[in-house]
Structure 1
């Protein structure tokens, strides 16, 4: 059934990525693929594996063709029995989100599992390029990987000297959760010159208080849910972001899913911070 990922050694994130890179280079085209997260599904399509997908996760809704594929996983877990019945040649996993026990079980069965872990924007192109080795026409995915990097590098050059803007990114309102430096999607904001007011939190996704946000005095505030920002209604006059109307709702799929569409999130964030710099 392919490469046994249990042979990978070293740190989890780096070891799995290096293992993916070393094995996929010598990979041959596969006929049946399963993805276990929405971002993995998008990466599979980008790599030229869309036609080979026989199972995807519940929230896989892009591209539109993904909606027609059987669901084998959701936020509660993975349907291991159904995956076995579908006899995949390749499983694209999400190590940070899929149940470790289920992934371990599939590895022990000998399935080829490609871990689509993404910490940096460059990793999106890396995964598309590596997954393309499993496609019948790898040049399609490799072309998309190059195009992604060309656009990403262009955006980096455009905003490399942008003046810093202190921002707060609200992941949820109840509880009030944000992100720290190094956590996805912090690099999107950093590329645009954003300075996270909670960058140095010891937790990757810290729960903070209203008082802490008020003390931080962010110049810009973001969320992927406009309604969730209503929590700040009574403190509008105390927050610079609201005083200058530097409050934006971002497209959740663009920002939260690490895929080629992340470039849209970068442009959306950069445009917003550019507006903040004008005041």
Structure 2
């Protein structure tokens, strides 16, 4: 089996479970550290000719992270493309199992069972809080309806205020975000790399939680430690 992954979190999942299966991955596939495969460009602009030259048995993609024209070009080249959809935590576990089975796994890896167990009985938060969750700046974009990251936060006791918005990633001005009066602002370090000096200054007077984007938005081995890592960052912001 030779596979190419166009989704960073799925790259990590396949690489740690089935070493040697991946022939290629995107430039954004940073985990596991030291992954030695052919790089095929970005998630939104993969080099389809480079992927075809690798002659993979399977390309792993995601309906949100990858563009349909690129996937169509791969199919036209005779390559099988597996497209995942992940909008919540339970769906993430189902899709991870499907991807690993398609890549040749004969059984579920231990890390997947441990991660699912971790999320099966989350500790109830002391109190629920509201938040706005920017994922980009210039222009400001936030989590909207039906997102994996939104479901992760909800399971940790944080309800983001744009969950009923008709768009999944609406553009909203910083002034509007402040006017929404959230209990806190959650700022991940990807896809936009929010830092202590780039993001919190736009929300004076509001607690800001700088969180790991990998733990908030990736569905892979990081799921096992995500509740602990994220809960710690959220608690710190509430002090």
TM-score > 0.5, shorter chain as reference: yes
TM-score norm. by structure 1 comes to 0.74
What is the match of residue 59 of structure 1? 28
| Correspondence 1:146 to 2:113 | yes
Answer with 1 or 2: which has the greater Rg. Answer: 1
Aligned length: 233
- The answer to whether 1:173 aligns with 2:137 is yes
1:53-92 equivalence runs, <5 A = 53-66=22-35, 68-92=36-60
In the alignment, structure 1 residue 192 sits paired with structure 2 residue 192: no
The separation in 1 between residues aligned to 2:31 and 2:128, in whole angstroms, is 33
The 2-side partners of 1:172 and 1:136 are apart by 36
Is the 8 Å Cα contact of residues 141 and 169 (structure 2) preserved in structure 1? yes
Kept in 1, the 8 Å contact 2:22–2:37? The answer is yes
Structure 1: give runs of 5+ residues left out of the alignment: 1-29
Gaps of 5+ in 2: 189-193
Query: What is the root-mean-square deviation in Å for CA atoms of aligned residues?
Result: 2.3
Q: Say yes or no: does 1:228 pair with 2:195.
A: no
Kept in 2: contact 1:172–1:228 (CA 8 A): no
- How much has 1:183 moved relative to structure 2? 1.9
Tell me, yes or no, if structure 1 residue 39 matches structure 2 residue 3.
Answer: no
1:17-41 CA distance string (max 9 Å, x none)? xxxxxxxxxxxxx2x1111121221
In structure 1, the residue matched to 2:191 is: none
Pair 173,53 (structure 1): closer, same or farther in 2 beyond 3 Å: same
| Shift in Å, 1:131 | 2.6
User: Cα offset for 1:223?
Assistant: 0.6
